[in-house]
Amino acid sequence: MYFITLKKQDLLYWCVTLLLLVVFITLNTYIGTADVFLNKNTKRKLPIYSVETNEKKLAISFDAAWGADKTDELIDILKGNEIKATFFLVGFWAEKYSGKVEKLDKNGFEIGTHSNTHPKMTDLSQTRMQLELETSCNILQNITGKKPQIFRPPFGAYNNKLIETADDLGLKTIQWDVDSLDWKNLTAQDIAKRVISNAKNGSIILMHNNGENTPQALRLIILGLKNKGFEFVCVSELIYWDGYYIDHTGRQIKII
């Protein structure tokens, strides 16, 4: 019978080698050998939450998926204050309320897609993601004659596959950094306070087209932000379309 005698250095070497082998096999299983060494698919992609800018400008955006009772009033408030805004519309909403879509477009408001059926898109295959986006964009383009350029994921849910699918269709994926929580039926004063206190240069504000107290809150928000010297622009006017990167907070930063 033979015994193998290992020096302490050799034993340490083989222990480290075995550990590295286990790590390699694990990474290879979940990510893929090439991706580990080439660092592919290991970085999480982010949508645009806000924009780095020295200018006192921001964007108010509204999601529309359920109901339309408050939409005309919002249009009147925005028009009366000469405010630009962006509306993210779900495809089935746009079909049901095509007259509202036409009115938004004719009054100069920007229209983006909010999907076609408002699913949690991270649960979908890439084929179904693409179908959601293409179908909704076609519906909106048929009504307005304009192809949407921006997309907001339902429920704010996204992953790399969704952002890449939107990119392939020429759509920038947009989130927000100021949430009004108007869908929770807060008072108009509470909604306005949340927005005014959290808004900053380059902010994207999330509101909804049919919140119970959204119209009155919008009046207060416009007044408060105007008093702070802010200019209101559409999302597509606020963001950078090339020569930028997105930091870990989702803030879009121009490369100088």
In this predicted model, what pLDDT tens digit does every residue of 172-216 receive, in sequence order?
999 999 999 999 989 999 999 999 999 999 999 999 999 999 999
**Alpha-carbon span 256 to 167, nearest angstrom:** 23
pLDDT of 12: 55
Q: How does residue 31 score in pLDDT terms, banded at 50, 70 and 90?
A: very low
pLDDT at position 3 over 70:
no
Single out the residue of 219, 173, 175 nearest to residue 195, CA to CA: 219
Whether residue 171 contacts residue 151, with contact meaning beta carbons closer than 8 Å, is answered with yes
Identify which has the larger pLDDT, 75 or 37.
75
Q: CB atoms < 10 A from the CB of 212, how many?
A: 17
Q: How does residue 30 score in pLDDT terms, banded at 50, 70 and 90?
A: very low
Give domain 50-254's CATH architecture. Alpha-Beta Barrel (3.20)
Q: What tokens does 232 get?
A: 């209101």
pLDDT of 249: 97
DSSP characters over 159-203: -HHHHHHHHHTT-EEB--SEE--GGGT--HHHHHHHHHHH--TTB
pLDDT of 256: 85
Structural domain boundaries in the chain = 8-38, 50-254
pLDDT at position 14 over 90:
no
pLDDT of 43: 87
pLDDT at position 119 over 60:
yes
User: If DSSP codes are grouped into helix, strand and coil, which group holds residue 230?
Assistant: coil
Terminal Cα-to-Cα distance of the chain (whole angstroms): 72
pLDDT at position 42 over 90:
no
Percent of the chain having pLDDT more than 90? 82
Q: Say what the pTM is.
A: 0.84
Single out the residue of 162, 167, 153 nearest to residue 63, CA to CA: 153
* Angle at 58 (CA atoms; ends 181, 224), nearest 5 degrees: 65
